[in-house]
Amino acid sequence: MEQIKAQYQVAIVGAGPAGSAAAISCKEHNLSVVLIDKAEFPRDKVCGDGIPLKTFNLLEKLGFNEDELFEDGHKINQLKVYSPEYKITTYGNVKADASTKSGCIPRKDFDSKLFKKAAAAADLALTGYRVIKIEDVANKKKLILKNLKEAGQKEIIVEAIIAADGANSAIARMTGLLKREEAHYFDGLRCYYEGKKFDSAVHLFYDRQTLPGYVWVFPVGEEKANVGIMINKKFKSSSGKTIRDIFLDVIENNPNLKEVLDGARPVDKIKGAPLPLGTLPGSRITNGVILIGDAAAFINPVTGGGIYFSVLSAIKASEVLNDSLSRNDVSEKGLIEYENWWREEILPGFEYSDMLKRWFDSEKFATWFLNTASWFKPFANFFIMVYGRPLPKRALWHPLFWIRVFLQR
């Protein structure tokens, strides 16, 4: 077995948006870094491909250029939300606006650009290696990597690990972090469609079969859209239908969706992936290990959005780790600032989203609420304020929140 010994302070496992952002951020703190992914890039990732403005703001701080990221994507100016009774609430205007930063970029292209920069920044980038085991050795962490291209293994000894290995995180499993309860998961499917001109709007279809989840159409190019569904994981066990049955049923029968997709055809297979939601119980740190991104289940429980939280948590983890390494203390206690941070700064937003998700579990409520939002601005404002951005702690106690709900045009 080949050994690479203690040359690196940090091993980052997973090089999606979370791991790539962490590698760049760690190097900004002058930490020595090995970045590991089992995949070779470019690699696909089942996702809605929707990337909000606030993500680009973070990525720009890490040295990315928005125009470069958008070479393969589509800018978005409008959001349309459809109720189970087909009423429509519209936010924004489809007219192109050069200053718009929100958009949809196929993950294969987006992640590849992030990885390229991260690999160049890292002291060593290993792709095609799966982390299969971690061990404690004299206050350090030994990672055992399986070479997926040819037979063989590598050992790497580091001081700390940033686990960015996604929704099925092996590191979270090996360290016993997170309690994998089905109630805190969505299941998702995605298929690309082509064959018609899509405008610069994203569409959310709250069909009665998908509640509290939805079906989406997110254009990733002028003539290509990401079409997908996310739905409660526990749903599958309580009905005879599979998520795929429901997805196809909604595509075939929802009149709003039929109109948006009219003329477009699927151009690839339907692919699935789980979404671990931010309310998933459990600590995100242990001795020498920090979980970030999907490995930490940092996905908004009502939108299914996780890319922003991946980058945000990567930046925070690097900052905390830099501090802990300088104090020579990467114990659970030494990393506690990260645990406190996510509980204080992002969990409250997940809890507000979860509240809306639980309300939308009721077909009656969701239909009444979304029908009303289509003509009564305060309801539309409330929805977008919970849906559109992570709310801070006690946001609903703040008069400004309600002023915006009632007065925003």
Does 213 bind ligand FAD (CB under 6 A)? Our answer is no
Angstrom distance (rounded) from CA 405 to CA 409: 9
Which of 31, 49, 204, 369 binds ligand FAD (CB under 6 A)? It is 49
Angle at 297 between CA 306 and CA 148, to 5 degrees: 90
Q: Which positions from 281 through 300 interact with ligand FAD, judged by CB under 6 A?
A: 293-295, 299
Provide the 8-state DSSP code for 295.
G
Rg (CA), the chain: 21
Does 228 bind ligand FAD (CB under 6 A)? Our answer is yes
Angstrom distance (rounded) from CA 74 to CA 79: 14
Which of 73, 103, 106, 166 binds ligand FAD (CB under 6 A)? It is 166
Whose Cβ is closer to ligand FAD: residue 162's or residue 405's? 162
- How far apart are CB 356 and ligand FAD at their closest, in Å? 17
Angstrom distance (rounded) from CA 25 to CA 165: 17
Whose Cβ is closer to ligand FAD: residue 229's or residue 380's? 229
Angstrom distance (rounded) from CA 213 to CA 376: 22
Does 264 bind ligand FAD (CB under 6 A)? Our answer is no
Strands annotated E in 14-139: 33-37, 50-51, 74-75, 78-82, 88-92, 103-104, 124-127, 129-137
Does 79 bind ligand FAD (CB under 6 A)? Our answer is no
Mask 6-45, x = binds ligand FAD (CB under 6 A)?
-------xxxxxxx----------------xxxx---x-x
How far is residue 390 from each of residues 141, 302, 303, 305, measured CA to CA in Å?
34, 11, 10, 10
Whose Cβ is closer to ligand FAD: residue 27's or residue 107's? 107
Whose Cβ is closer to ligand FAD: residue 23's or residue 405's? 23
What are the residues binding ligand FAD (CB under 6 A)?
13-19, 36-39, 43, 45-50, 130-131, 164-166, 170, 188, 190, 228, 230, 273, 275, 293-295, 299, 304-308, 310
